Chains A and B, each alone.
Chain A
Amino acid sequence: MAKFRKLKEFVIEKLIFASGIASIVFVVLIFIFLLREGVSVIKSTSLGAFLGGRFWYPISDPAKLGILPLILGSLLVTAGAILLAVPLGIAAAFYIADVAPAKVRYVLKSGVEILAAIPSVVLGFLGITLLVPFLKHTLGLPTGLTALAGSIMLAFMALPTIISISEDAISAVPREYKEGALALGATHWQTLTRVIVHGAMPGIIAASMLGIGRVIGETMAVMMVTGNAAVIPTSLLQPVRTLTATIAAEMGEAAKGSPHYFALFAIGIVLFLISFLINLTADLFLNRGKKR
């Protein structure tokens, strides 16, 4: 009986260990299976021509598979989103964490959590039905499906990440810092802008980076509102196409085993590496914040 129990526990503990390392296994599997299909792109184009090529004509013959317009499209939309979301998000995080009375804080936090929960396709739907026509009319554009529309949508999608992680960092600043500053006669505002900001800085940087990560990887909303023109963008007011939207829109039509199919996987590798780098750096900042 005791022997049976020992065996049972042995098996269970092995299962627990296996599950513990499952996350590592899955991350490695993702990378391997992207590589497995994606590296074949170099059969039809060189790495330089893939990353630096100015033309994305995947179904012309021969196919032109340069993703520079897509990279620039993603960067432009992301830059616009970050310019909007980072200042707004940090300001809101300070208000929620340090200024708002408890009851107001609860309401505001709930609002942010609801925003985080709304599926991206729903935001995309609202973007295409409301925001896109609005931009077209107010700015007098030939089409409202622009990089700007994408930036606005993505800013909203990055805000919950930026706000909640910044807020944690602000709340984690030791009370003594704040009390010390107030005891020395500083106003609440001075304490906030000169003392708390410093303590929370690594966390705020990490929050902004994770916000960027969220924005670059976002797919549905951005595909629905940016117009998806694969040209090198010159302004926020023209249609662009992002890396993510290209995969989502074209994988359904790409013939399995064609250069186009491999190229879409190669774009996946690029996205995977970008998010890997961003998360790694953000994690370094978060740990630095904790160690202090």
Chain B
Amino acid sequence: MRNEGARQKIGFGFLLGATLFVVVPVLAIIVLIVVKGWSALSLEFLIAMPRDGMRAGGIFPAILGTFILVFTSIAFALPIGVMAAVYLSEYAKDNLLTRIINLAIINLAGVSSVVFGLFGLSLFVVFLRFGVSIVSGALTLGIMTLPVIITTTREALRAVPRSYREVSFSLGASRWQTIRHSVLPFATPGILTGAILSIGRVAGETAPILFTVAAFYLPKLPHSLGDQVMALPYHLYIMTTQVPGVPENYRYGTALVLVGLVLVVNIVAARIRSRIRRNK
């Protein structure tokens, strides 16, 4: 018996060690980026154009480009994703079609990000002649992020109690009226969570925008959906691998802005989600 107690201690110690081996580097990464990037942060860094072959000045065009891509791609993907979740949660029967849809969602979530880039290049840039532009990039990113929106929204819709629907039906409401007035309002926070999570995903992705929208350097800000943009993740990539002589804190500063954006977005999403779970 005593032997078993010792074995348990060693076993749990090993599991704890493994967990710390994963989590401690994560905290170290965040601290490192904040510490090393902090000195680069200034108003100029955030709102000015790059200077000296992108070795000085600000990263404003990249920040703006990322915001544009986030909003355009979510504007495209959110309605489709929410309606798809409504279909799966409120209309779909347990049949072959539903099974195939679920499989397609899983596959869409598993496709390599660079393959999305190829797809966007082939369909939007070349075939539909949208060119290397915000439209092409936003559609590519939007399709990539659909699974996130669909699965979180579906979870939120399923959490709405059945009785809400039954009361609505019993009062003579049609199926759509029921969804519109008795289901969707209660699922809003969950839908918001999905949208916010996909913002984080879209903001950080590099490979899908490589051939569809991202520009190495643009002297002017974009002014139509047919323009190219610079974007934070791509900017960090070229700062790191393509442009020699960029000061280290400039790189860390760019990483800090990107990670900060993504983490804030994820924390907000986590807050909303935990509030929903508490209210359940």
Contact = CB atoms under 8 A, between A and B. Distances in A.
A96 B118 CA distance: 38
Given A20-B88, A24-B100, A271-B112, A114 B83 contact: no
A228 to B, nearest CB: 10
B5 A187 contact: yes
B32 to A, nearest CB: 8
A15 B138 CA distance: 21
B206 A23 contact: no
Contacts of B107: 27, 275-276, 279-280
Interface string B4-16: 1101100110111
A173 to B, nearest CB: 16
A12 B113 contact: no
A118 B262 contact: yes
B143 to A, nearest CB: 5
B266 A188 contact: no
A290 interface: no
A99 B84 contact: no
Contact of B15 (A94, A264, A272, A283): A94
A224 B91 contact: no
**Max chain B C-beta neighbours (<10 A), residue from A91, A123, A264, A278:** A91
Most buried by B among A22, A23, A187: A23
A179 interface: no
B112 A26 contact: no
A220 B236 CA distance: 11
Interface string A77-104: 0000000000111011011100110000
From B100, B207, B251, B258, residue with most partner A Cβ within 10 Å: B207
A271 B118 CA distance: 11
A256 B104 contact: no
Interface stretch (B21-29, B49-57, B186-194, B221-229): B21-29
B122 A33 contact: yes
A210 B110 contact: yes
B176 A13 contact: yes
A194 to B, nearest CB: 12
Interface in B108-131: 108-119, 121-123, 126-127
Contacts of A251: 117-118, 121, 210-211
A219 B144 CA distance: 15
A119 B266 CA distance: 12
B206 A216 contact: no
Interface string A42-76: 00000000000000000000000000000000000
Contact of B110 (A13, A91, A112, A213): A213
Interface string A270-292: 01100110111011000000000
Interface in A196-240: 210, 213-214, 216-220, 224
B76 to A, nearest CB: 11
Contacts of B121: 251
B150 interface: yes
| Residue among A16, A244, A283 facing the most chain B CB atoms (10 A cut-off) | A16
A256 B234 CA distance: 22
B216 to A, nearest CB: 10
A20 B146 contact: no
Given A87-B18, A112-B26, A119-B259, 18 more contacts: A15-B83, A20-B92, A23-B146, A114-B266, A118-B262, A119-B205, A121-B206, A121-B237, A121-B258, A122-B255, A125-B236, A126-B29, A217-B112, A219-B114, A244-B112, A247-B114, A247-B118, A272-B115
28 contacts: A16-B86, A19-B80, A19-B83, A19-B87, A26-B104, A29-B119, A88-B21, A92-B19, A114-B263, A120-B113, A121-B258, A122-B258, A122-B259, A125-B236, A125-B255, A126-B29, A126-B33, A129-B248, A129-B251, A187-B5, A210-B110, A219-B114, A247-B117, A252-B211, A265-B118, A272-B115, A276-B110, A283-B103
